[in-house]
Structure 1
Amino acid sequence: MSGDFFVDPQEMAKLAKAFGTRAYDLACAVRGFEGAAGTEQIHDGFGFLTESEEVTSTYIELASEMAESLGHLARHFDEVSQALKGNAENSAATDDALAGLFKGGRT
């Protein structure tokens, strides 16, 4: 039937793991970006320009906001991963409990 709904706990757990991996990878990339695009590196890169303070301030602000936004995204991926993992565990437990009921209470 087209209205049927089925949840495969193993597939949900795999999806949770994928989100967890992406969260970890993104968090590592953000830390790397912060190290490569920190205030000191930006000052070094723009220190010789005529309007260097204005350019430097703009790039520092942009880099900081980008790192903050990507950090939020990494944390959100991790939260999605944890929620999916919990749902997969709950679905598996519910499936086991229902199977026990259909077996006449024997598990």
Structure 2
Amino acid sequence: MADDAPFYAQDAGRKLARDFESRAYDLRAHLKKFIDETGEEAISDGFGLLTESDELRTEYVDYSSDAAEALNLVHKYLDAVADSLRKVHHNTEITDEGVAVLFGAKGDGAKK
């Protein structure tokens, strides 16, 4: 690694956090649409109220609920990763400023 190369690329860290946040947001929008289209009411409307279809309808409702729960967990995970990346970025900026001061930079980034 060259002496002037940064160990942590701040722009890349910010971009990665935004990417995870964007994916979490997109997934949340898809999840809402999925729930609207495959929720119990939508499935029941599709199968009707025939006795013969009740067992199958119940299976579809259970599957839809399980899938929505799994997607929600993925959404929360992506959101947590984005939050963690933002914290890493913030902490790195603070640490970099502190180290710069130790090596003679003023608080505003100028040299003494």
TM-score bin, normalised by smaller chain = 0.7 to 0.9
State the match for 2:66 in structure 1: 65
Q: Determine if contact 1:10/1:88 at 8 Å carries over to the other structure.
A: no
Unpaired runs of 5+ in structure 1?
A: none
State the match for 1:28 in structure 2: 29
Identity %: 37
Cα offsets for 1:29-75 (capped at 9, x unmatched): 11111011111211122227773111100000000000011011101
Q: Determine if contact 1:39/1:60 at 8 Å carries over to the other structure.
A: yes
Query: Structure 2 length as normaliser, TM-score?
Result: 0.83
- Cα distance in 1 for partners of 2:76, 2:93 equals 26
- Cα distance in 2 for partners of 1:49, 1:13 equals 54
- Cα distance in 2 for partners of 1:22, 1:36 equals 21
- Cα distance in 2 for partners of 1:106, 1:26 equals 44
- Cα distance in 2 for partners of 1:42, 1:16 equals 37
State the match for 1:42 in structure 2: 43
- Cα distance in 1 for partners of 2:90, 2:77 equals 20
Letter in 2 for 1:35: D
2:19 is the counterpart of 1:18: yes
Q: Determine if contact 1:9/1:89 at 8 Å carries over to the other structure.
A: no
Q: Determine if contact 1:26/1:74 at 8 Å carries over to the other structure.
A: yes
Q: Which runs of 4+ in 1 moved over 6 A?
A: none
- Cα distance in 1 for partners of 2:53, 2:27 equals 31
* Matched residues, number: 104
Query: Structure 1 length as normaliser, TM-score?
Result: 0.86
State the match for 1:106 in structure 2: 106
Q: CA shift at 1:9, angstroms?
A: 2.2
The DSSP-based 3-state class of the residue aligned with 2:8 is coil
Unpaired runs of 5+ in structure 2?
A: 108-112
State the match for 2:53 in structure 1: 52
The DSSP-based 3-state class of the residue aligned with 1:41 is helix
The DSSP-based 3-state class of the residue aligned with 1:51 is helix
